Amino acid sequence: MIQSITSQRLTAITILALSAMAIEGCKGKHSQQPAVKNEEAQPVAQILSSFKMGDEAAQAQLLKGFYVVENNSWRWTAGSFTVLLKPPMASAQKGGTLTLSFSVADIVIKKLKTVTLTASIGTTKLKPQTYSQAGSATYTVDVPADLLAKETVTIDFELDHSLPPGSVDLRELGLIATAVGLEPK
């Protein structure tokens, strides 16, 4: 008998709680479901001459071979990767310097011993550089002026070796890129 009364009481309370929840649920707009306000204003679209890998505004300049940004500062690359850069002022007359800042991962050196990086613009290959130690490194190379006499320049980077998919990661891995840029001489 006591349990029956208790059960009825519990049922009544539950129904009340349910009703209260239902009423709350019916109120339409809720603070927990705010509308999404998009960022519509587009700054003057421009191609940058140099940028860091975490730079949101430059993401579209990573044309291929770059993986998702990590810690908002670096990206793994594949064995070949491509960026789009704007030649800096006067570089079409005096030439420029291409710089890629990156790290060579321990696992890359352990598995591959050395890696050689070559940049090319169109069909012109720039001077390759070889890296045999893990850690931070910079690829710096002169770019002839005639290759920079355009609005934008597409630069292809290629490694002689990379870690194939499945050996360390499901992705093909090359370098850990942090920044890239063209500077006038």
Per CB under 8 A, residues contacting other proteins are: 2-3, 5-7, 9-11, 13-14, 17-18, 21-22, 24-26, 28-30, 32-33, 35-42, 44-47, 56-57, 59-61, 63-64, 68, 84, 152, 154
Nearer to other proteins, 53 or 115 (CB): 53
Nearer to other proteins, 85 or 108 (CB): 85
CB of 142 to other proteins, least distance (A): 22
CB of 141 to other proteins, least distance (A): 20
Nearest to 76 by CA among 162, 16, 183, 6: 162
Nearer to other proteins, 5 or 113 (CB): 5
CB of 11 to other proteins, least distance (A): 8
Phi and psi dihedrals of 97, rounded to 5?
-125, 125
CB 83 within 8 A of CB 176: no
CA distances from 185 to 102, 105, 129, 155 (A): 22, 31, 20, 18
CB of 65 to other proteins, least distance (A): 11
The C-alpha atoms of residue 56 and residue 67 are separated, in whole angstroms, by 14
In the DSSP assignment, the letter for residue 172 is -
Neighbours of 17 (CB within 10 A): 10
Nearer to other proteins, 61 or 162 (CB): 61
